[in-house]
């Protein structure tokens, strides 16, 4: 089976780490399917890779119906699933005491950072289990393992995402599936626009993608359970 006869599913692939992942796996010869909220961002992504085996679908993965629709779109391509990379997410800083009193910030952060990964994984899991092989990645964060003063509900969601990943790893490891949590520190994406810090204080999204591809390319007898990546000069506080 040639590489392009296998599918890599990447959520949130139009910018930042997601876009770097799309480029990396296309470069490795895989067919890639991805989604994003903004159709114009997906159009730009496709235009940057003319002729590539890239499939896109506008979808808001904070909505369960869109998670199901995207999963069905991916399965409808009729290709074996090589990997699922749950990358979709959103970063909104702030303290609990400053968040809306109705709890909407936490619900929003859980929907986009945790439940999107749960819903897409759950929708694709039967196909992966039937295959008896495949690799599931979740793009967590260093905020999944340490609290930050301005982390608020975002930090809660990322802690929960790591817990989901660890639980999934235990559930499916005897069924041929590999599961990896990726925990990048501050990465040079739009989330950090306007902070006024030099690029060298951040991780290049391409480095995260290279690390993920490397973990994916290990033999079936090995798995990287957690992939922790920080800027060379350490965390931004």
| pLDDT category of residue 3 using cuts at 50, 70 and 90 | low
List the CATH number of the domain containing 89: 3.40.50.720
Among 193, 147, 228, 211, residue whose Cα is nearest residue 17:
211
Among 159, 120, 108, 103, residue whose Cα is nearest residue 12:
120
Q: Is residue 156 part of a domain?
A: yes
- What local confidence, expressed as pLDDT, does residue 168 receive? 98
Rounded to an integer, the average pLDDT of 24-35 is 98
Distance CA 99, CA 96 (A): 5
Distance CA 13, CA 176 (A): 26
Give start and end residues of each alpha helix (H) in the chain.
Answer: 16-27, 39-47, 64-75, 104-110, 116-131, 152-172, 205-216
pLDDT at residue 237 greater than cutoff 90? no
Distance CA 55, CA 47 (A): 12
Q: Is residue 234 part of a domain?
A: no
- Which strands form 54-58's sheet, in the order they lie side by side? 54-58, 31-36, 7-10, 81-86, 134-139, 177-184, 226-229
CA dihedral (101, 102, 108, 110) positive or negative: positive
Rounded to an integer, the average pLDDT of 229-237 is 88
Q: Which residues are catalytic?
A: 154
Q: Is residue 8 part of a domain?
A: yes
Tally of domains within the chain: 1
What's this model's pTM, rounded to 2 decimal places?
Answer: 0.95
The torsion region of residue 166 among left (phi > 0), alpha (psi -120 to 50) and beta comes to alpha
Its domain, for residue 152, covers 3-229
For 130-169, letters b (16+ CB in 10 Å) and e give eeeebbbbbbbbbbbeeebeebbbbbbbbbbbbebbeebb
Paired residues of 55 in beta bridges: 33
pLDDT in tens, 60-102: 999 999 999 999 999 999 999 999 999 999 999 999 999 999 9
Q: What 3-state class would DSSP assign to 149?
A: coil
Average pLDDT taken over every residue of the chain = 95
Q: Is residue 136 part of a domain?
A: yes
Q: Is residue 237 part of a domain?
A: no
Q: Is residue 101 part of a domain?
A: yes
CB–CB of 88/67 below 8 Å? no
pLDDT at residue 127 greater than cutoff 90? yes
Q: Is residue 236 part of a domain?
A: no
Q: Is residue 30 part of a domain?
A: yes
pLDDT at residue 50 greater than cutoff 50? yes
CB–CB of 142/183 below 8 Å? yes
């Amino acid at each position: 089976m040639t590489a392009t006869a296998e599918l890599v599913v990447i959520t949130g692939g139009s910018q930042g780490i997601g876009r770097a992942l799309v480029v990396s796996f296309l470069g490795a010869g895989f067919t890639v399917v991805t989604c994003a909220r903004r159709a114009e961002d997906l159009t730009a992504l496709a235009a940057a890779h003319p002729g590539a085996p890239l499939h896109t679908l506008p979808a808001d993965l904070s909505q369960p119906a869109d998670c199901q629709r995207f999963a069905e779109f991916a399965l409808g391509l009729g290709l074996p699933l090589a990997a699922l990379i749950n990358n979709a997410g959103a970063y909104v800083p702030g303290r609990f005491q400053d968040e809306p009193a109705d709890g909407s910030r936490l619900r929003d952060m859980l929907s986009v950072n945790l439940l999107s990964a749960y819903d897409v994984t759950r929708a694709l899991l039967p196909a992966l289990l039937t295959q008896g092989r495949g690799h599931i990645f979740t793009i967590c964060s260093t905020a999944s393992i340490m609290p930050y003063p301005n982390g608020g509900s975002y930090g809660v969601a990322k802690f929960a995402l790591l817990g989901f990943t660890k639980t999934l790893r235990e559930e499916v490891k005897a069924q041929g599936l590999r599961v990896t949590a990726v925990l990048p520190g501050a990465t040079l994406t739009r989330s950090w626009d306007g902070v006024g810090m030099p690029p060298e204080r951040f991780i290049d999204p391409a480095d995260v993608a290279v690390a993920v591809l490397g973990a994916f390319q290990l033999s079936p007898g090995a798995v990287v359970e957690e992939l922790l990546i920080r800027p060379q000069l350490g965390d931004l506080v």
